[in-house]
Amino acid sequence: MKLHQIFKAAIHEPKKLAAFRLLPIGKTFQYVFIFIMAFTLISFIRYILSGNSLFENSPDLDEYGKSLGGLLYPIALFLQLVISTLYIFVRISIFAYAGTLLAKFFKRRGDFRFIWRTSAIACTVPLLLTMLFDYFSVSDSYSLITTSVVHLAYLGAALRHYPKI
């Protein structure tokens, strides 16, 4: 299955979202890393365009940042990639655990590995919302609650199509 087909189905087809549990883990990682790269690039572009110094609170760090010169940008890009990767994978894992609890509540059969894959694909809309909220500078607590509810809603809709116990 192609990535754009997964993207379209992840937005509005819970039955296919449940079927994505059978995707190879490599395809799931590929799909997630596209979002990680988008997340990272948007964050990096905002960093470049803002022109603000990250170290303006500390004169010593500000001087060190100036001594790095152009080397600061690749370092910033790498760190943003690592932080985005960590954030998204931890988020997927937390919601996968919540999904295992939902599966028990719905009396559905679901191993953590299958629910993790479903959670990874179900994070499509929440991550798009996170990027949108970040662009419009919406409060962090409001955006986190909203995206968490949306993620759980997509995951719950997909879990209803899992096989029964």
Three-state secondary structure readout of 67-101? HHHHHHHHHHHHHHHHHHHHHHHHHHHHHHHHHHH
In a domain, 11, yes or no: no
- Secondary structure class of 1 (helix, strand, coil): coil
Distances (CA, A) of 104 to 46, 147, 163, 164: 42, 23, 12, 10
Q: Beta-carbon neighbour count of residue 13 at 10 Å?
A: 15
Q: Which domain holds residue 151?
A: 18-159
At 51 the pLDDT is 65
pLDDT above 70 for 54: no
| pLDDT digits 0-9 by tens, 97-137 | 999 999 999 999 989 999 999 999 999 999 999 888 888 87
C-alpha count within 13 angstroms, C-beta hemisphere, residue 82: 6
At 72 the pLDDT is 82
At 85 the pLDDT is 95
In a domain, 7, yes or no: no
Q: How many domains does the chain have?
A: 1
pTM of the model: 0.87
Indicate the helix (H) or strand (E) that contains 18.
helix 14-19
Q: How far apart are CA 102 and CA 121, in angstroms?
A: 17
Complete DSSP assignment for 117-155: HHHHHHTHHHHHHHHHHHHTT--HHHHHHHHHHHHHHHH
In a domain, 5, yes or no: no
In a domain, 12, yes or no: no
In a domain, 13, yes or no: no
**Per-residue DSSP letter, 22:** G
In a domain, 8, yes or no: no
Q: Tell me, what amino acid is at 126?
A: P
Question: Which token pair is 107?
Answer: 């009396």
Q: How far apart are CA 159 and CA 119, in angstroms?
A: 10
| pLDDT digits 0-9 by tens, 70-106 | 888 898 899 999 999 999 999 999 999 999 999 999 9
In a domain, 84, yes or no: yes
In a domain, 164, yes or no: no
pLDDT above 90 for 158: yes
Quick check: 91 and 123 in contact, CB under 8 A?
yes
